[in-house]
Amino acid sequence: MTSSPELARVVGRPGEVPSEALSVLYAEIGSWDETELFGRRLRELVRAGVRAELDADFGAEEVSEADIPDWAPGAWLEAAPRYAAHRGDEEWTVQDVLYSFEPGQRSWSWWDVTIVFGNIVCVWVDSGGEAVYNCEELRWMTYVAGARSVVGPFFRDAGEWVRSGSLGEGLEA
């Protein structure tokens, strides 16, 4: 499901309009002035996973963590109680997240992250038209990027995405 077009969408706003509805997660961020940083951080985490999917040797005992951003270890620890409070699940390790990007394992591909209003953002993914799909690694990364709470997934019309402003653009592929 992943290809270099996905990596292009991770680093900047997609140039095309999706042909079908997208799946979304809504995330509450601490405050409105943290939304751009949140968008950038989430893109950095997803970029690390997509790069692993494209380049990593998943037959190895460990996948390289070289693309994990420097800020992530501290944020990883801070995310655990928020994730557990809402999901009741145990935290993900960096290796858990990277291995979730093994080719053929994910049931979603990245689309965009946009502002909704104030401190609410929307994480857009292509779930291949599936209403119910596994996206816990994405939910975890959303908490690591700074979300206070996350709800979804829900389907939304592509026109809603078109009218939304993207966050965190401008990363290097």
Using only C-alpha atoms, the chain has a radius of gyration, in whole angstroms, of 15
Catalogue the long-range contacts made by 85-90 (C-beta closer than 8 Å, 24 or more residues apart).
86/149, 86/150, 87/136, 87/139, 89/136
Place 1 in a pLDDT band, splitting at 50, 70 and 90.
Answer: very low
pLDDT digits (tens, 9 = 90+) for 81-137: 899 888 887 788 999 999 999 998 999 999 999 999 999 999 999 999 998 899 999
b vs e for 69-90, b when ≥16 Cβ sit within 10 Å of the residue's Cβ? beebeeebeebeebbeeeeeee
Q: Phi/psi of residue 120, each to 5°?
A: -105, 130
What is the pLDDT at residue 170? Answer: 85
Residue 127 and residue 24 in contact, taking contact as beta carbons nearer than 8 Å:
no
With CA atoms as reference, report the closest residue to 18 among 105, 104, 129: 129
